[in-house]
Structure formats: C-alpha cells, structure tokens
Amino acid sequence: MAETIMYIAASIAMIGVFTAMMRFIKGPTVADRAVALDCLTVISISLIVLVGLFAKR
C-alpha cells in the first residue's frame, strides 16, 4: 500500500517536472521562467526525498 502511494507521488512529481519544463522553455516573460525554475527546484527536492524513501534511508 505505501509503495503504491510512493509510485503515485513520483508520477505526480514527474508530471509537475514536465509542466514546469514546458513553462520554462515556452514562458513568454522572464518572470514566467523564474517561477518555473523555482518550481523545478522544489519538485527536485521532493523527488530526492522520494528516492530516499524508496531506498529506505
């Protein structure tokens, strides 16, 4: 059960990475790109935490 929830969380995070990357690439203004970069940073940290949970460390 917990493993399934972690897979779902990882999938949602990867969707977030994809959408933030699209905004970073296509953002019409510098502010859009800055917000997308901030989102990518937060999502990357959460993915690092998920990897730690997967590895049980």
pLDDT digits (tens, 9 = 90+) for 2-31: 789 988 999 999 999 999 999 999 989 999
Task: State the residue range of the domain holding 39.
Answer: 2-54
Identify the CA nearest to 47 among candidates 2, 4, 16, 3: 16
Give pLDDT, residue 27: 85
CA distance 36 to 54: 26
Kindly tell me if the per-residue pLDDT of 1 is higher than 80.
no
For 21, the enclosing helix (H) or strand (E) is: helix 2-26
Give pLDDT, residue 54: 86
pLDDT digits (tens, 9 = 90+) for 28-44: 999 999 999 999 999 99
Give pLDDT, residue 12: 95
pTM listed for this prediction:
0.81
Collect all residues with Cβ–Cβ distance below 8 Å to 9 and sequence separation of at least 6: 50
CA distance 2 to 34: 34
> How many domains does the structure of the chain reveal?
1
